């Protein structure tokens, strides 16, 4: 097959959680540019409406939905509404997440639970609900957002967010094992592990640790607005049909030191 056809997503349907801004919007735009119709969901549906309007100008359909990924009933409603609108779900990008910074000895239990619920349980609930649809379809692509923080530790002077790292490490293990479980249904389950990208979540660290962070990135810069588009395009497309259980690191080489 021509390689351009392998990457063509025309007519496919993708759900992107946390898809209204930041990395989620970068993922959504990449899929839309390849022809996929989108369901964008987040807790603030107004932002999703704005993002969906922007994507519609690319010639695709885009649906804005309110969804708290830690709420099972809202996740089920999100999946039902997507099916009602599009009739199928081909791609799930589990992007929604939160963080909490501070020494572990001062970490309140409610903040631990909050981060784990959004980053890990949220990925589980969405994968479970969408997976039931994909199992019936006998095909699908699930892409979980991990992080290089889930691959190892760092000095507290650089990043002091153990619960975030733990949640992303769990996402990596979840991705690899689920890939083995659902391969029989022709469902590919992979993860993307970004390094340092300027987002609302990373804003403070990048501002206060900029020179140190850049000195540990071989390419000498932070991730940009197009640097994750190729990763999600690959994993969502037929070009990755023989790739599952993989964690694609996009970090400017920082983990290669």
| Residue positions annotated with a catalytic role | 164
In angstroms, the CA 79 to CA 133 distance is 9
Structure tokens at 18: 């946390």
In angstroms, the CA 91 to CA 193 distance is 18
Instruction: Report whether 70 contacts 122 (CB < 8 A).
Output: yes
Nearest to 125 by CA among 81, 176, 165, 67: 67
Q: Going edge to edge, which strands form the sheet with 187-194?
A: 62-66, 37-42, 13-17, 91-94, 140-145, 187-194, 247-250
CA–chain centroid gap for 40, Å, is 12
């Amino acid at each position: 097959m021509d390689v351009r056809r392998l990457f063509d997503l025309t007519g496919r349907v993708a759900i992107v959680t946390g898809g209204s801004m930041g990395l989620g919007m970068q993922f959504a735009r990449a899929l839309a540019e390849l022809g996929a119709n989108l369901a964008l969901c987040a807790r603030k549906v107004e932002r999703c409406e704005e993002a969906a309007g922007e994507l519609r100008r690319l010639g695709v359909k885009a649906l804005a939905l309110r969804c708290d990924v830690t709420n099972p009933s809202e996740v089920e409603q999100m999946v039902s509404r997507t099916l009602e609108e599009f009739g199928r779900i081909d791609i799930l990008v589990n992007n929604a997440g939160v963080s909490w910074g501070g020494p572990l000895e001062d970490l309140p239990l409610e903040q631990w639970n909050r981060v784990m619920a959004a980053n890990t349980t949220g990925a589980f609930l969405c994968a479970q609900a969408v997976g039931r649809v994909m199992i019936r379809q006998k095909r699908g692509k699930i892409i979980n957002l991990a992080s290089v923080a889930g691959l190892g530790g760092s000095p507290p002077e650089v990043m002091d967010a153990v619960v975030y790292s733990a949640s992303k490490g769990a996402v990596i293990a979840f991705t690899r094992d689920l890939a083995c479980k659902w391969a029989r249904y022709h469902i590919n389950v992979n993860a993307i592990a970004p390094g340092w990208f300027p987002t609302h979540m990373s804003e403070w660290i990048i501002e206060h640790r900029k020179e140190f962070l850049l000195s540990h990135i071989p390419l000498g810069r932070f991730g940009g607005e197009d640097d994750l588009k190729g990763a999600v395009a690959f994993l969502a497309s037929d070009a990755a049909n023989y790739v599952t259980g993989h964690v694609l690191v996009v970090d400017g080489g920082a983990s290669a030191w």
